[in-house]
Structure 1
Amino acid sequence: MINVKQTGLTVEQEITSCYQRESGAVLATLMRLLNGHFDLAEEALQDAFTAALLQWPKDGVPNNPRAWLISTGRFKAIDKLRKNNSFSRYLTSTIPDDVVQTAPFEEPEVIEDDLLRLIFTCCHPALAIEARIALTLREVCGLTTEAIAAAFLIPVSTLAQRIVRAKNKIRELQIPYEVPDTDLLPERLHSVLAALYLLFNEGYSATVGHDVTCTELSLEAIRLTRLLSALMPQKEIIGLLALMLLHDARKKARMDEHGELVSLEEQNRTLWDQPQIAEGCQFVKKALSMGQADPYTLQAAIAAVHCEAPSFKETDWAEITGLYQVLLSINFSPVYALNHAVALSMRDGPIAGLKAIEAIEDHKALQHYYLLYAAKADLYRQLAQKDAALSAYKRALDLTQQAPEKRFIEKRMATL
């Protein structure tokens, strides 16, 4: 049993942490053990954590929480099927014999394959592209509905409806729980990469909560992307992996010793992980050598320019601005356009940046995006337009849900 006193957490906190860390992997393996039945696996997952809430405070946290949860969830599902006579035929015909047994579950080496199977199931082409990504982030990655809605820049209710419809469709169409044959992989790849990208973003810069980052999420996104790149060594995957590695390499400098946010300009670059930066840059070069640049590789190239700059002042903003222009030409996004405007302000000054922002700020997706207003506020501050800066900072403060971001904005307002 794990000694919770050594971790500094209560048993309840340990269970919550375990849910955030392990629920995707547990669900993925339960899906395999229960022959790909999504609803049954979800019920088994919830039953397992309910049992943990009852048992772990008395018996202690097991040494291998994941294996305990999978074993408990499997037994709960089998017991439920056995007690319900209407499922007797289902039990014998669709659940393999090796699942209906009493031996404790031994964690298999195929756990990573289970996660990939679940990702590809959630990203089946029969589902709408937005639903695929949302379902993957919710079920595989364990993100909250609120966090996913913030990533999509849409209302929570709209996001919740997408997830429900996607799960219903998986059940109705009996979408198989499998990594598809090689010739069918490309049609699902776009949504798989988008889900991994958003998972990493949520880990690197959490949309809600008391911390700047959620390291477990970003590391899981990197791990899954490495796994996928081994399965499919394509330039988009390599570019995405490079992007993740380069951003993740700077994580130690993004917070001070008190957990407060540190801007890129003020970061201590000696804290950046140089071996990881070197690896990321190598992947950028490899992806660029494989043909026309894709959005992930271009973003990785931008990150590489930041990482290789000796200081903030010595950053090659002309290079970054040019890369954003190429990115926008092949895949327009209002968020990319906002980042381009900020880079433009660094190259040509705050007035040029404000003009670029004014050209895009009416875009529907940016109306509730706090970084739009934070960027405007910073530019107004540089121009000594105090009232305009305070107004923009106030709007950004109202929109952000992350505690360190709020405190960072409040400090900027206090300087005015």
Structure 2
Amino acid sequence: METGTRIEDLLRELAPQVLGSLIRRHGQFDACEDAVQEALLSAAVQWPEEGVPDNPRGWLITVASRRMTDLFRSEHARRRREETAATMAPADEAFAPAPDDAVAADQDDTLTLLYLCCHPSLSPPSQVALTLRAVGGLTTVQIAAAFFVPEATMAQRISRAKQRIKATGTSFRMPPEAERADRLAVVLHVLYLIFNEGYTATSGPDLVRVELTAEAIRLTRAVHAQLPDDGEVAGLLALMLLTDARRRSRSHADGTLIPLAEQDRGLWDAESIKEGVALVSDSLARSALGPYQLQAAIAAVHDEAPRAEDTDWPQVVQLYRVLERISPNPMATLNHAIAVAMVSGPRAGLEMLEPLAAPDKLGKHHRLAAVRAHLLERAGDLAAAREGYLLAARRTTSIPEQRYLEAQAARLAP
């Protein structure tokens, strides 16, 4: 790996830690973000020429803190006051700094920053946007492009999220012990949303947005490093690795989607599969069972099958039964129906799909229409299958999925 790339990766890893340290000390989100960005820019210019310092995080914190001090002095000069950053007025804070703001430079605040960005007062889209901006280090332009919204719209979303956190009076510190499990569940859900949007983009010309899947995996690794004994954190990381391992085989050179059963498994990432299987096996052996662990176990069954026809579908069915029992949701039922159809025939799967047509479930979702069309085709009802594929194509906003579904319909044309 080239020096520039190594430094870029290091800076991305350190950015949330440095930002967390500054927010803990000073409390001003926007000002701290600006200071960290200046420090990162200085590092990107100096380190390739002068070498990476022995304590890169401490170097960045020092440079960013100097920027904060300069900003503070400038602001208070205008107000004709000479105060230090430690005596900043709370009225100026984006949210309150932690009470014990004498923080060691080697403290990693990434998880605390994630908890803050995933505050329960924020909507899921705001949680995702703020996480990618503050913890992931993506620019507002990059985040807006990933979700196909104007830059101004995304900037407003991020700004409103910060203001909402300010209104709650939240301090920059770990949540109380009694709240941590619920808050961690929100963090994991946000990381899962980011990964899913990257792995199968909901709209636009690309099937995969690698910058989002890679960021989700990187951030989940960071959480796992701080909470190595949490089974669901390990399960989510395993699920991402086992799913992302198939990425290179999911589409043709022209972007056309390739379904799982038709993928070239020789293109799957063996190292990611090995790591994912080890993670989920270990977490299942020593942790309470959770939905991410079960989904990872299902992904492992698929990834360990040498050929599609070697998949242990009865085991997949059993795992989905457990998943639906502990964490029922329509998408799990949809995938369960596919597995049941593989074991007991397409009519059995179609029966399971019927309740999902309700408006409060998946009634208007393109995946329900697509799966139903696939099972109708397997059952021999080609005319209904063709209509189902066309309906699914109309409902999706993903161009690769749309083209695939239209091709499936065209294949069944009389």
Q: 1:262 to 1:89 in 2, by over 3 A?
A: farther
- Which residue does the alignment assign to 1:385? 381
The correspondence for 2:337, drawn from 333, 336, 341, is 341
Query: In the TM superposition, what are the counterparts of 1:16-415 in structure 2 within 5 Å?
Result: 29-30=18-19, 32-33=21-22, 35-41=26-32, 85=78, 92-93=85-86, 113-124=108-119, 127=121, 130=124, 133-134=127-128, 136-137=130-131, 139=133, 140-141=135-136, 144=143, 166-180=161-175, 185-232=180-227, 233-415=229-411
Name the amino acid aligned to 1:338.
Answer: L
Q: Distance in 2 between matches of 1:360 and 1:235?
A: 30
- Could you give the per-residue CA deviations for residues 370-416 of structure 1, whole angstroms, max 9, x where no partner exists? 21111112222223434322332222222222222122112212212
SS at 2:196 equivalent:
helix
CA displacement at 1:138 relative to structure 2: 5.2
Secondary structure of 1:256's counterpart equals coil
Alignment check: 8 A CA contact 1:243 1:297 kept: yes
Indicate the larger mover: 291-300 or 27-36. Answer: 27-36
Q: 1:132 to 1:331 in 2, by over 3 A?
A: farther
State the Cα deviation string for residues 328-361 of structure 1 (Å, max 9, x = none).
Answer: 1111111111111111122222222221111212
Q: Is the 8 A contact 1:342 1:375 kept in 2?
A: yes
CA displacement, residues 34-93 of structure 1 (integer Å, 9 cap, x when unaligned): 623234456779x98xxx9xxxxxxx9x979xx9x9999999987776665359678745
Residues 147, 336 of structure 1: alpha-carbon distance in 2 compared, 3 angstrom cutoff: farther
Q: Which runs of 5+ in 1 are unaligned?
A: 8-17, 53-59, 97-108, 151-158
* 1:275-298 C-alpha deviation (Å, 9 max, x unpaired): 321221121221111243110010
Going from structure 1 to structure 2, the CA distance change for 1:225 and 1:26 (only over 3 Å counts) comes to: closer
The alpha carbon displacement at 1:175 in A equals 2.0
Q: Give the TM-score of the pair, scaled to structure 2.
A: 0.73
The SS at the match of 1:364 is: coil
What is the aligned length?
373
Deviation per CA, 1:228-256: give whole Å up to 9, x if none.
22211211111111111111221121122
Instruction: Kindly indicate whether the alpha-carbon contact (under 8 Å) linking 2:111 and 2:226 is maintained by their aligned counterparts in 1.
Output: no
| Contact 2:324/2:333 (<8 A) preserved | yes
Contact 2:337/2:349 (CA < 8 Å) preserved in 1?
Answer: yes
2:204 partner letter:
G
Aligned-residue identity in percent:
38
Partner SS, residue 359 of structure 1: helix
Residues 382 and 86 from structure 1, CA distance in 2 versus in 1: closer, same or farther, beyond 3 angstroms? farther
Query: Deviation at 1:316?
Result: 1.4
How many Å apart are 1:114 and its aligned residue? 5.0
Cα 1:137–1:123 shift into 2, 3 Å? closer
Question: What is the identity, as a one-letter code, of the residue corresponding to 2:169?
Answer: Q
Secondary structure in 2 matching 1:360:
helix
Query: TM (normalized to structure 1)?
Result: 0.72
DSSP 3-state at the match of 1:289: helix
Three-state SS of the structure 2 residue aligned to 1:262 is: coil
Match in the other structure for 1:155: none
**What is the root-mean-square deviation in Å for CA atoms of aligned residues?**
4.4
Q: Return closer, same or farther for 1:91/1:377 CA change in 2, 3 Å cut-off.
A: farther
